[in-house]
Structure 1
Amino acid sequence: MASVKNLKKDINYVIGDIIEAVYLYEMTTTGRPTEATNGIIEEAIVTFDGLIKKVNDKKVENRKAHLKQVNKDLENAANQLVEKINVL
């Protein structure tokens, strides 16, 4: 892990790209939000908030291992959100 700053950027970019993909789906299909797309966007925002909160938690014993786990959590959450987009 290079730095906390880079991890925060990665979280922002990945979640932002997922939300953008949902918006693109909306534009190319219905032209407006649906309950399913709103649910995915809401889940992405909650995931973003949770990951940033974990990164900012300085009361962990092993900070390096904690940040590596946050990176893994980001990857897992992103994969799950992308799968939900693909189901649409």
Structure 2
Amino acid sequence: MASRKNLKKSVNYIAGELFTECLVISKFVPGADKQKADELMGKILNMQDEFISRISHTEPGNVKGFYKKFHSDFNAKVNEIIDAMSKLG
């Protein structure tokens, strides 16, 4: 299992990449809905804060189950954001 520090770095990196991609879509793709892109960027920042907070407050006693649920929730949220980004442009 990765350390908390490395897991936080991964979450920050993925959120940063998603945010950058959304920003590029809103600025450089003609016909992209800028309002929806701004809302999506806000969702990305909220997702980052939520998952960083979850890493910092691990459930005692069921650490392995906690991280399994964390990974599945994180992957689902990232896929949801990617699907929303594909609908922008």
- Report TM bin, short chain: 0.7 to 0.9
Give unpaired runs (5+ residues) of structure 1. none
Structure 1 segments, 4+ long, off by >6 Å, are none
The one-letter code of the counterpart of 1:25 is: I
Provide the residue aligned with 2:7 in structure 1.
7
The one-letter code of the counterpart of 2:5 is: K
TM-score if structure 1 supplies the norm length? 0.85
Provide the residue aligned with 1:40 in structure 2.
40
TM-score if structure 2 supplies the norm length? 0.85
Q: Render the CA deviation track for 1:47-88: whole Å, top value 9, x for unaligned.
A: 111111111114432123212321221111110000000011
CA RMSD of aligned residues (A): 1.9
Q: How many matched pairs?
A: 87
Structure 1 vs Structure 2: percent identity of aligned residues?
Answer: 22
1:14–1:41 Cα change, 3 Å: same
Give unpaired runs (5+ residues) of structure 2. none
